[in-house]
Amino acid sequence: MLNVPHIRGHPLRMTSPRAELSQSSSKQSSSNQSSSNRSSSSSNRKLILAGQIAFLPTGILQTLLGPMLPILIARWALNDTQAGYLFLVQFLASLAGVQLSGLLLTRWGFRPAFLWGLLLMACGVSTLLLGSSTLGMAAVAAYGLGLGLLVPSDNLLIAEIGSGSSSDSGAASQESSQRSSQERSQRSSQRSSEASSRASAVSLLNFFWGVGAVFCSVAVFCSVKVAWAAAHHLLPFFLGSVALFLVLLAFAMRNLPFPAAATSSATPAATSSVTPAESSPSSSSLTPSPSPSSTSASSPSWRELAKSPAIWIFAAIFFLYTGAETAVGGWIGSYVSRLGSHGAAMASIASIAPLMPAFFWTALTVGRALGTAFLRHFSERSVLRAGYGAGAAGIGLMLWAPTLTGVIGGALITGLSFATLYPITVARLSQRFGVAARKIGAVMFSLAAVGPAVIPWMVGVISHSTGSLRAGLLLPLGATVILFVVHLFEW
């Protein structure tokens, strides 16, 4: 009888070379996949950090004209109409940049949009005070164009890769339970986790923008308090420092592993009929591309997209919300300066008026910092409804409060309420349409550039025609109420 050797009481198992090779190959494949996931996660973290840092100077430059306007008017002997052209030039250049960003993202990916945006912003801010008003207009147009390239690109990049880590972990669990009875619930949980992660990432990104905006508002207040000469001499140093920071950031980001262009992404654009779990933009943009015919056949056309009510709702939100936010932040200082009637009361209120935008932007920034944790416990839809409702209440309090304290309280409530609304909207756009959001984003972010130009301008028109700035500020209040009603319905 053939004796089978034993080791510690167990029979020695005889395995074939083919079985051993299969097990070794399986382990090696698993190890390679784990290493690839770790590398992808590390690349995403670097991109997210770079995108967040890049949003600091965008907050400064998008709100720069407000603090700089008195200095530029005196330096170039501008009247109010000529000074108003500065805002128009910035928004038109930004609108052109948004359109160009859509082309760049679709054909060449994120890298050129980021690098050109940073360099144009550096050129504009560094030349703002170097010459005549004509050169100043060109400088404003240059950094406005850079903002138009960078802002939508950065938002969409973070929205795409912000849920990358959850996608990687979710893929493994989905694969292991592919045939189990719990697959549907796991997909739903994964989809909810990805949506929350994406919205949180965009919210944190816009927190960095808020830091820059608050810094700009505080700089205005400080320039009022210190001597004119000191403020004047510090401005070139400040603008030059911002320009140098932008150039160094572009140099540091030039070799980062940005996602590929939309035409070469692995998973075609997700339409409203495809769930985010089935087509994740964060994972599709980092995997090898299929045949071009497959991608182009699945990509929705504008005619198909226009039939979706969601497209028109998103368009209204991007236009109305950004316009309302800019109108409140841009006019609140002037509104406070007109609260007093005469004498000491007027002087006391006027002294704090330049600081009023800082209350609004600070509340907005703090809210976005807290939003990353807040969104883990509440659904996006609940946050949107509560945010628009509380925002309308905050603007109402600001307009009808008889005292400065009431106005400050209304500004703080409005800022906190508005904090996560825009990031959630950007995240939902990316979640709903996948990689196609890069193409759709060009239109949406164009509306986000038109809204801040039209609604604040209409506030001024209404105020001039009625003789009451309070009447003009009813416009952003109405826009906020409309958006609250829109989000009461499922779409």
Q: What is the mean pLDDT of residues 294-309?
A: 62
Residue 6 pairs in a beta bridge with 11
Residue linked to tokens 């939100």: 317
Task: Say if residue 274's pLDDT is above 50.
Answer: no
Residue scoring higher pLDDT (311 or 299): 311
pLDDT 10s digits, 19-45: 555 555 555 555 555 555 555 667 777
Residue linked to tokens 């810094």: 215
- As a whole number of angstroms, the distance between CA 429 and CA 412 comes to 27
Closest to 191 in 3D by CA, of 433, 431, 438, 435: 431
The token duo for 39 is: 């590398």
Q: What is the mean pLDDT of residues 354-380?
A: 82
Lowest mean pLDDT among 120-134, 137-151, 190-204, 216-230: 190-204
pLDDT at 265: 40
Q: How confident is the model at residue 479 (pLDDT cuts 50, 70, 90)?
A: very high
Residue scoring higher pLDDT (223 or 360): 360
Q: What is the mean pLDDT of residues 341-362?
A: 67
Closest to 421 in 3D by CA, of 371, 456, 356: 371
pLDDT 10s digits, 88-109: 788 889 889 988 888 888 888 8
Question: Would you tell me how many other CB atoms lie within 10 Å of the CB of residue 143?
Answer: 32
pLDDT at 386: 93
Task: Say if residue 320's pLDDT is above 60.
Answer: yes
Burial of 270-302, coded b for 16+ CB within 10 Å and e otherwise, reads bbbebebbebbbbbbbbeebeeeeebeebbbee
pLDDT at 428: 87
pLDDT 10s digits, 412-444: 999 999 988 988 898 888 888 777 777 787 788
State CA 240 to chain mean position distance. Answer: 25
Task: Say if residue 263's pLDDT is above 80.
Answer: no
Directed axis angle between helix 437-466 and helix 80-107, to 10°? 170
Task: Say if residue 304's pLDDT is above 60.
Answer: yes
Within the chain, what is the greatest distance between any pair of CA atoms?
A: 116
Q: What is the mean pLDDT of residues 397-423?
A: 91
pLDDT at 302: 67
Residue scoring higher pLDDT (308 or 141): 141
pLDDT at 162: 62
Q: How confident is the model at residue 264 (pLDDT cuts 50, 70, 90)?
A: very low
In angstroms, the Cα distances linking 317 to 64, 311, 320, 325, 429 are: 25, 10, 5, 12, 11
Q: pTM for this structure? A: 0.65
Q: How confident is the model at residue 282 (pLDDT cuts 50, 70, 90)?
A: very low
- As a whole number of angstroms, the distance between CA 472 and CA 456 comes to 9
Task: Say if residue 279's pLDDT is above 90.
Answer: no
pLDDT at 247: 95
Average pLDDT of the chain, as a whole number: 75
pLDDT at 29: 55
Residue 465 burial by Cβ neighbours in a 10 Å radius (0-12, 13-18, 19+) = exposed
Lowest mean pLDDT among 141-155, 437-451, 465-479: 437-451
SS (H, E, C) the chain: CCCCCEECCEECCCCCHHHHHHHHHHHHHHHHHHHHHHHHHHHHHHHHHHHHHHHHHHHHHHCCHHHHHHHHHHHHCCCHHHHHHHHHHHHHHHHHHHHHHHHHHHHCCHHHHHHHHHHHHHHHHHCCCCCCHHHHHHHHHHHHHHHHHHHHHHHHHHHHHCCHHHHHHHHHHHHHCCCCCCHHHHHHHHHHHHHHHHHHHHHHHHHHHHHHHHHHHHHHHHHHHCCHHHHHHHHHHHHHHHHHHHHHHHHHHCCCCCCCCHHHCCCCCCCCCCCCCCCCHHHHCCCCCCCHHHHHHHCCCHHHHHCCHHHHHHHHHHHHHHHHHHHHHHHHHHHHHCCCCCHHHHHHHHHHHHHHHHHHHHHHHHHHHHHHHHCCCCCHHHHHHHHHHHHHHHHHHHHHCCCHHHHHHHHHHHHHHHCCHHHHHHHHHHHHHHHHHHHHHHHHHHHHHHHHHHHHHHHHHHHHHHCCHHHHCHHHHHHHHHHHHHCCCCC
Residue scoring higher pLDDT (350 or 7): 350
pLDDT 10s digits, 170-189: 444 444 444 454 555 555 55
Backbone angles phi, psi at 459, to 5 degrees: -60, -45
Out of 68-77, 201-210, 292-301, 360-369, the most confident range is 360-369
Lowest mean pLDDT among 227-236, 419-428, 460-469: 227-236
Q: What is the mean pLDDT of residues 124-150?
A: 92
- pLDDT more than 70, % of the chain: 67
Q: How confident is the model at residue 223 (pLDDT cuts 50, 70, 90)?
A: low
pLDDT at 295: 41
pLDDT at 20: 54
Handedness of CA 202, 203, 204, 209 (dihedral sign): positive
Q: How confident is the model at residue 73 (pLDDT cuts 50, 70, 90)?
A: confident
Lowest mean pLDDT among 17-26, 73-82, 248-257: 17-26
Q: What is the mean pLDDT of residues 344-357?
A: 64
pLDDT at 340: 58
Task: Say if residue 135's pLDDT is above 90.
Answer: yes
